[in-house]
């Protein structure tokens, strides 16, 4: 499934006790016995290269993952090759829950940058629900948050103009990145091509390019090092008529 471009690390760079994400104030703290269980639940770490396929539509996966570092995206393909990017994956996000619950994956996942993933065993989800209702609640919470983001994306593709969509998308990813501590100095390069943006917005590549150019002309963003740099996020949000995410403290598994 992951092919030759992924590799399993035997050693753990980050044992759960030293999780680099949990200290962030946006994540809720763990009870000691939750930490103990998650630490047992975790089977290792998976490191994938930029461009690698993490999960493939139509397959079954024995694992689910939490993003530790790096960015990725979920997408679906039609038989004739049309691609729709559904959402982006950032540190703290859960990957593959749908597949774990319902069997076959209904979407694929690809890495936008090198990623480091926590690996969990889907077979142990049952025990999690049996013995750790707090974590079970958290997982539902995370699923619900994903649903909320999809609602926003649907509104955007359905009802915004091209330039509004582009502004929304970039602000959306940038805001999420900030909230998990990426971009501490406002210099984050979102490692994304214009083809990704086009496939997210439901636009053609050419029209996306001309739209992005308008955003650059307005000095809202820059394109650099093969990625996107946000210059004026409030400006993007105003252009998109987007209020931003209701970012409350959230769970992390």
- Based on CB atoms, which residue is closest to its own copies, 17 or 127? 127
Collapsed DSSP state (helix, strand, coil) of residue 23: coil
- Based on CB atoms, which residue is closest to DNA, 90 or 112? 112
- Based on CB atoms, which residue is closest to its own copies, 27 or 141? 141
Q: Does 97 bind its own copies (CB under 8 A)?
A: yes
Q: Does 151 bind its own copies (CB under 8 A)?
A: yes
Q: Single out the segment in contact with its own copies by CB under 8 A; choices: 33-41, 43-51, 147-155, 223-231.
A: 147-155
Which residues from 190-249 bind DNA, rule CB under 7 A? 193-195, 202-213, 216, 223, 226
- Based on CB atoms, which residue is closest to DNA, 143 or 216? 216
Contact at 8 Å (CB) between 52 and 2?
Answer: yes
What distance in Å separates the CA atoms of residue 94 and residue 70, rounded to the nearest whole number?
A: 13
Q: Does 139 bind its own copies (CB under 8 A)?
A: yes
What distance in Å separates the CA atoms of residue 106 and residue 77, rounded to the nearest whole number?
A: 10
DSSP letter at 28? P
DSSP of 127-180: HHHHH-HHHHHHHHHHHHHHHHHHHHHHHHHHHS-HHHHHHHHHHHHHHHHHHT
* Contact residues for DNA, defined by CB under 7 A: 161-163, 193-195, 202-213, 216, 223, 226
């Amino acid at each position: 499934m992951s092919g030759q471009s992924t590799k399993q690390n035997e050693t753990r760079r980050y044992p759960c006790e030293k999780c680099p994400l949990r200290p962030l104030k946006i994540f809720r703290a763990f009870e000691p016995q939750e930490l103990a269980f998650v630490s047992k639940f975790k089977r290792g770490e998976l490191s994938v290269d930029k461009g690698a396929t993490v999960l493939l539509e139509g397959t079954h996966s024995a694992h689910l993952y939490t993003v530790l570092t790096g960015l990725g995206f979920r997408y679906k393909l039609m038989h004739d090759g049309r691609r729709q990017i559904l959402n982006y994956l950032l540190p703290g996000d859960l990957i593959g829950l749908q597949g774990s619950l319902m069997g076959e994956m209904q979407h694929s996942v690809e890495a936008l940058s090198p990623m480091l993933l926590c690996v969990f065993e889907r077979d142990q989800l049952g025990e999690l629900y049996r013995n750790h209702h707090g974590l079970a609640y958290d997982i539902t919470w995370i699923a619900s948050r994903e649903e909320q983001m999809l609602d926003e994306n649907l509104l955007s593709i359905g009802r915004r103009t091209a330039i509004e969509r582009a502004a929304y998308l970039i602000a959306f990813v940038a805001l999420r990145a900030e909230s998990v501590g990426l971009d501490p100095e406002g210099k984050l390069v979102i490692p994304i091509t214009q083809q990704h943006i086009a496939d997210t917005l439901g636009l053609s590549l050419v029209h996306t390019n001309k739209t992005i150019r308008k955003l650059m002309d307005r000095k809202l963003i820059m394109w650099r090092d093969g990625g996107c740099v946000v210059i004026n996020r409030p400006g993007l949000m105003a252009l998109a008529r987007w209020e931003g995410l209701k970012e409350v403290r959230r769970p992390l598994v």
